[in-house]
Amino acid sequence: MRYLIYGQQGINDEVINHYLDIIKSAYGVVKKCNFVRIESVNDIADGDFVLLYTISDAFRVCLKKKIRYAIWMQGVYPEERQLRGKGKIDFALMSLIERQALSNAEKVFMVSKAMLTHYEKKYRLKLSHKTFIMPCYNCSINKDAFFVEQKYDHPSFVYAGSLANWQCFDKTLLLFKKINTIIPDAELYIYTKEKKKAEDVAKRLEIKNYHIGYVKSDDLNDAIKRCKYGFIIRDDITVNNVASPTKLSNYLSAGIIPVVSDAIVLYQEIANESDYFVVENNDESFVRSIINIEKKKIDPNSIYRDYNNLFDKYYNDNYYINAIEAFLV
């Protein structure tokens, strides 16, 4: 049997490749196999085992070939398309395809327990017996970032990422504006490809003390390591409830205190194991929590130990490879 990876999206995406590499490593040990990446459905033959990472690819392949497959569910595709303006017919069709992809998969990889709960409830399927859960991440902890001079003495904030609607960029800026009113020396660093759009939004909302730039993903950790807080603000909707944004691992890696919405269920779980985490559901609570932190002296050694423990539990390559091996057996 041949073991293949097929996907038309994100071939050069660092997060996708990191996630797939962990799965490949575990399969390699258990099945004594090597995966080959292919770019066309025509390269797949009946009887192949294929690792897939979008439901559209699963649908495309299964229409033409009789294969065995595992699938990595990065997000809730029908709901994401709905947010982009697709209608009810599209939602129904994508849901049908998604249900079929989940039903027929030998193994399913998901990014959160909330995602598993969502799928089992939405489709009335029993999936837990064939599902492995691993959050999204693409980095290791950077100890030096915790000991940048005066890092925890100045209220500097960072927003890193796209300005897609579900990223809640406007809400993030408005929250910073409230913080800045009470903490006048607070600064906001914005890193995004959409610099012109970010500038327009910041001016429209009359934001002060901000800086806008862009760096490649490889340089992001170095760019943000001087910041104290990092924003991940989300609306309380299904797409966010089940998500596992990579951004959290980037912030924790750089010793940045996350300021995140409780709409992301996974973050509530992680926050319960940390003394340096702000998870709230409204601006007033966010501001109050940040003011309380600002009153304290933070020991870099203490926050490093805290976040290193989180990496050991949630963002640990060796742990996941071994755990997936056991899951496959």
Q: In this predicted model, what pLDDT tens digit does every residue of 274-319 receive, in sequence order?
A: 999 999 999 999 999 999 999 999 999 999 999 999 999 999 999 9
Q: Where are the domains of the chain?
A: 3-134, 143-314
The C-alpha angle with vertex 24 and arms to 22 and 30, in degrees rounded to 5, equals 110
pTM of the model: 0.93
Is the pLDDT reported for residue 26 higher than 60?
A: yes
CATH class of 3-134: alpha beta
pLDDT value for 12: 57
In the prediction, which pLDDT does 10 show? 63
The answer to whether domain 3-134 and domain 143-314 are alike in fold is yes
Q: Is residue 108 within 8 Å of residue 132, measured between CB atoms?
A: yes
From CA 46, how far away is CA 24, in angstroms rounded?
21
pLDDT digits (tens, 9 = 90+) for 208-251: 999 999 998 888 889 999 999 999 999 999 999 999 999 999 99
Query: Is-contact 283 178, C-beta < 8 A?
Result: yes
Q: With beta carbons less than 8 A apart as the criterion, state whether 45 and 62 touch.
A: no
Nearest residue to 256 (alpha-carbon basis) of 284, 220, 280: 220
Confidence band for 65, pLDDT divided at 50, 70 and 90: confident
The label of the residue with tokens 């927003």 reads 159
Q: Say yes or no to pLDDT of 64 above 90.
A: no
Residue keyed to tokens 């999206």: 9
Q: Kind of pairing, strands 229-232 and 210-213?
A: unpaired
3-state secondary structure of 14: helix
Tokens of 67: 């294969």
CATH dotted code for 143-314: 3.40.50.2000
Return the closest-CA partner of residue 61 out of 76, 36, 40.
40
N-terminal to C-terminal alpha carbon distance within the chain: 18
| Cβ–Cβ < 8 Å for 151, 181 | no
How many C-beta atoms surround the C-beta of residue 40 within 10 A? Answer: 8
Percent residues over pLDDT 70 in the chain: 98
Contacts of 266 (CB under 8 A, 6+ apart): 111, 112, 113, 114, 135, 243, 244
Burial 224-259 (b: 16+ CB within 10 A, else e): bbbbbbbbbbbeeebbbbbbbbbbbbbbbbbbbbbb
Token pair 């504006």: residue? 177
Task: Provide the pLDDT for residue 11.
Answer: 58
Phi, psi of 44 (to 5 degrees): -100, 135
Give yes or no for a contact between 72 and 23, defined as CB atoms under 8 angstroms apart: yes
Residue pLDDT, tens place only, 140-191: 999 999 999 999 999 999 999 999 888 999 999 999 999 999 999 999 999 9
- Checking if the pLDDT of 100 tops 90, the result is yes
